[in-house]
Structures are given as C-alpha cells and as structure tokens.
Amino acid sequence: MPSDRPTLPPVRLRPDAELARAALAAPVLARAVRLARWAGPETRVGAGGELAEAQLGAAAEALGLAGDEDGEAYASEAWRVAVDTGLVEVREPADGAGDTGTATAGDALPLVTGGGPQDVLALWLDGLETVFADAAAPVVDDVEALEALAGADGGIDFDALGWDPEAEAEFLDEVLANLYLLTVAEGGSGEGPVPLPALAASVIVPDDMGEPTDEVLEQVSQAMMRLDDQFRVLEPMGLVEYRPVDEALMTEEAPDEPSPADLDEDDVARYGMVRLTPLGLYGVRSRLLEAGVAAPAVGDLAERGADELLGAVGAFPQAAARAETEQWLAGREPVAAARELLAAARGADAGSPLRRLHCQQALALVGAGAEPAVREVLDDPELGGLARVWLAERGAADVPPPPEEMIFWLAVDTIAAQLDADGDLEELQDLVEGLTGRHSGFFDEAWRVEHPSTPEVLEAMGRLHRDKRIAKDARKAAFKARSRAGS
C-alpha cells in the first residue's frame, strides 16, 4: 500500500458484529470453513500443504460443487485459504511415508463459532492476503505454456513470464487505495459503484496531464483488462461487488465502438463497475493502516479530548465531522461536554477561529443541556459572542446585548474561520456583504479589532466584496490594520 498519502477522510464502518457476519458469508471463507470441517484422517496433502489432486473431486463434492466445471478450482482455492488462516493444520509427510502428508482441523476453526467478531475478522483478513496474492498472480490459461515456464526447481520463472510480483501487488494495492478514497471522499462515489475505466485511469493517467495521449489510453485499457481478472478473484472474498466487463467488448473493436475515454453514461457499465462492500472498506482500511497510511474511522476520537476533536474535524467532510462529533458527545454528560468544548475553543493561534466554528457546531448537537456552560462564558472576550449566538438561536431569555467591540471581534473571527474552512465562494461573499450591509461604517471600526487575523480578514473582504467601492474600503482598512500591528 502507498504510504506517502496525506491523511484520508474518515470512513464510517459498520459494527464489528455485522462485518463478521459478512466475512463468514463470503463464499471463499465459507468454503474454507466447510473444508476444514471436512478434513480428516484420510485427507492427503502435498509437500506444500496443497490438497492432493486425487482429493480435489471429493473436496468439490463436500462443497456442493461436484457438477460445477470450476468446482475443483474453487475447492483448491478454499483449501489454500483454510491452510493459510489456520482453519486447517497440515502435517508434513513422515519419513518413508511417501510424498503426501495429512491435515486436520486447525486451532482457528473453533473461532468461527466460539470467537468474537474481531477473531472472525482477523481470520478474514488472513484469508484476504491469500486471495489478494492469487489476484495479483498472472493468468496463464495454457497448461503447456505454464509448464514451459517452470524452472528447474518446479517454480515459475517470473522473468520469462515478464511478471514482477512486487510491482503487480503494488499496482493492485494502489487501485484499491484509490477506490477507497473515491468511496470515502466528500463528493466521491459514496456507496455507489465506480466505473472501471475511471478507476484504471486514476492510477495510470498523470495528474498534470490534460488530454491523455493514445499511448496512455492504451495503458488504461490494458489496466482495465488486468483489473477485470483481479476483481473477479477478489469478489468471492467479499471485498468488492463487481460487474465484469462485457465479454462482447473483448472481441475486436468495431469501427463505431467508442473507446473507454469517450463513453456515455448509458454504455459505461459495459466496461465494468466496482464498489467496495462495507467489509471491503474494513479490509482496505486495515491494509492502509498496516502500510502506515493515516486512515481514520469515525469514532476514533470518541475517547480523546475536545482539543483533538476540534482540531481534527476541520479536515473532515461535513457528514463525517457531524458523525464524529455525535460519537464524541454520546459518552459525555452535556454540561461537562460543553465546558470541555468551550475550553478547547479558546486561543489566538492560527487554528483557533476554525476550532470556535466547530465548537459552535458541536454545541448545537449538545442541545439545551449545554446552556449552563454557555452562560458561563458570556463575558469571555473570545467566546462571549459565540455564546450569545448560540443562546439566541435557541430562543433563550435574558441574553445580554454584546458590547460593540465583541460584535466586530466575532465578525472577524467568523470570516477567518470560513476562510480556513475553504467554504463555498458565493456563501462567503454573501457573508461578507451581509456583515458590511448590517453595520454602517464597518471598516472604520474593523481595522482596530484586537484579533490576530484582522489584516488577513480585511484583505480577503477586499477580494470578495462585489461592490468595488466597498472592496476598496476593505483594502484601506487592511492597510491600517497591518500598520497598526507593525507599530
């Protein structure tokens, strides 16, 4: 997994118990469990732990796949997963006992029914490693060609095959990481499927490339075909839901057949659609964390302090920030939570305006129970304005009017927070114009505000205000504020 990524948006994971049920229902793991229960004294395995070829038919029958032309292949795959997860314990051939060993149920098998959700998920993750390695392996359908590639020791000559196992695994990891990002990012696919051409392009086309060249488009098409094979392998493990590439597209392209880059919405599904399942989100996040990538989950901050909460949610998508805050509040008494939030919102550092914005949003989720703590800060120069806004929005009685200097300080602090939040430009312009419209002579007073962000806010107001005369007044006020701050 690529570890040089910035912190990813937090993912909302399903409860462990639900994920564990999904893991046990995944066809590959379910077959592995059945074969572990089927294994007995008569089961024979090769030196590498693989199920003896003569027993593949019986294993397929135990899985109810005797009539399936791929039944023995499914049995072989499930057996490898059973061995690698410890569901089956392999005993090597004893001296003089021929070239086959035996197998019995492993120590992990009781965890399927007697372990907790985390035990089951750990089994599933171990199985995913095996299936991932299968997915990253080359597809060689010609048996004679495969035999020709065998080295002197019986292993595959990867150089002759032109295949780099490490590079192929890195490619698939990067694809899964991009699919994860597209799923959790604000404005991304969410729980919807991602077109395979778009996913392939996300790892092939350079970010700074405008129109992809024919060579790059050919690389995207080749990547799509690799991914089509790989997702077909990964789907039975429960990692993804996958609609394969339409086999009719595998034939020679007709003259009027559009290239993947020119698809319209009606045809795009024919080129493959893929989405991570809830279990898949859990699995890919686990791989990202193992690779050192910061991949938070909603709820990670539930036991942390309010300072960490307010410092983190500023980088979260709106829905994730609300969900994280709700989980943080769930384990706390309202007044105590409100006091902790307000204390964390204080400060004159660069991040403090955004902390106060998120504090106000968090207090809205606390509800009426926060009122005693909010009233305690009415005279606080940094929090008094915020407190009055909160009380007024709830229709509270006996809210003292704010001093004029508090009004202007709150105005500067609010705009500073919105600038840091990279909000919608039009909404920010409306905020700026609303403030200047409600307060005649706004800039005559604003440049004197004792707030560390005053010069920057006034400069921004000069850029944002659509009235040229007022924008000029803002720039003059910014100059005065900078001169005052430097004196």
* Tens of pLDDT, residues 240-280: 999 999 887 766 554 454 555 565 666 778 889 999 999 99
Does residue 233 register a pLDDT over 90?
yes
C-alpha–C-alpha distance, residues 475 and 457, integer Å: 10
Give the model's pLDDT for residue 441.
85
What token pair was written down for 158?
């990867």
pLDDT, tens digit (0-9, with 9 covering 90-100), for 208-226: 777 888 898 899 999 999 9
**The one-letter amino acid at 378:** L
Q: Which of 299, 301, 380 is nearest to 343 (CA)?
A: 380
Give the model's pLDDT for residue 212.
80
Give the model's pLDDT for residue 255.
45
φ/ψ of 89, rounded to 5, equals -110, 125
Tell me the percentage of the chain whose pLDDT exceeds 70: 88
Give the model's pLDDT for residue 163.
66
Give the model's pLDDT for residue 487.
52
* Residue owning tokens 């035996």: 102
Q: Which of 281, 291, 257 is nearest to 271 (CA)?
A: 257
C-alpha–C-alpha distance, residues 48 and 396, integer Å: 74
* Counts of helices then strands in the chain (DSSP H, E): 24, 6
φ/ψ of 101, rounded to 5, equals -110, -170
C-alpha–C-alpha distance, residues 60 and 2, integer Å: 38
Return the number of other C-beta atoms located less than 10 Å from residue 158's C-beta: 14
Give the model's pLDDT for residue 146.
46
- Sheet order of strands, 194-195 included: 194-195, 273-276, 240-243
Give the model's pLDDT for residue 92.
76
- pTM comes to 0.82
Eight-state DSSP code of residue 68: -
* Residue owning tokens 């962000």: 453
Rounded to an integer, the average pLDDT of 390-407 is 93
C-beta separation of 196 from 269 below 8 A: no
Rounded to an integer, the average pLDDT of 150-174 is 71
Position 47 confidence tier, pLDDT thresholds 50, 70, 90 = confident
* Residue owning tokens 């004196």: 487
Mean pLDDT is lowest, of 84-88, 138-142, 200-204, 347-351, for 138-142
State which of 139-143, 214-218, 410-414 shows the largest mean pLDDT.
410-414
Rounded to an integer, the average pLDDT of 187-194 is 78
Tell me the percentage of the chain whose pLDDT exceeds 90: 68
What is the rounded radius of gyration, in angstroms, for the C-alpha atoms of the chain? 30
Mean pLDDT is lowest, of 1-5, 311-315, 461-465, for 1-5
pLDDT, tens digit (0-9, with 9 covering 90-100), for 83-139: 999 999 998 776 655 677 889 999 999 999 999 999 999 999 999 999 999 999 876
Does residue 190 register a pLDDT over 80?
no
The mean predicted confidence, pLDDT, of the chain is 88
C-beta separation of 444 from 403 below 8 A: no
Does residue 2 register a pLDDT over 90?
no
Give the model's pLDDT for residue 25.
97
Q: Which of 46, 49, 233 is nearest to 133 (CA)?
A: 233
